[in-house]
Amino acid sequence: MFESRWVRHLLLRGALASTMAVILRRRVDFPMIDLAQVVFYPEYFDLAHRFFEESWEKICGIAYPVITQEMHLGFPAVHTSADHLAPLRYGDEVVCKLWIESVGNSSIVWRYLFYNQDEVLCWDARVVTVCVSMTTFEKIDVPDGLADSLRKCTED
């Protein structure tokens, strides 16, 4: 299977790396804020998805476009929950701590903590994704090599 060849190749190269939470950063831009001068709530999920895409290379050693376009795998969200704890404002730096809470046969539970540049916890979220074939959009098992790497990405 094509997915397994990719994962085996990367395992042999030693590219499957992260064994702890991933830390990613991004500035809050003007289009993200609302009239109250804070990040509009749907933008938190947009940020989470951007961090999700960026994290694949750090966790599994594979860029997300390779996963979707060459391996033909997708990971759509099937459940989300979040707590908004403090506002993010224009010009703030979002520091995202991301890790994998669990990996099932076809599902992955992603955890996100967003802090601002002053280390204030602003957002705490859990997103459940399911592995699908991008050709059929049918649920499939997470390939073993990806699942193994994802399981190593723990909070600490």
Closest CA to 108 of 50, 59, 43, 44: 59
91-127 residue pLDDT tens: 999 999 999 999 999 999 999 999 999 999 999 999 9
pLDDT of 16 > 50? The answer is no
Per-residue pLDDT band for 137 (boundaries 50, 70, 90) equals: very high
Determine contact, residues 141/131, Cβ cutoff 8 Å.
Answer: yes
Architecture of domain 2-8+22-115+125-152: Roll (3.10)
Half-sphere exposure at residue 117, Cβ-oriented, CA atoms within 13 angstroms? 8
Describe the crossing of helices 144-152 and 41-60 by its angle, rounded to 10 degrees: 110
Domain boundary assignment for the chain? 2-8+22-115+125-152
Per-residue pLDDT tens for 62-80? 999 999 999 999 999 999 9
In whole angstroms, give the CA distance from residue 147 to residue 156: 18
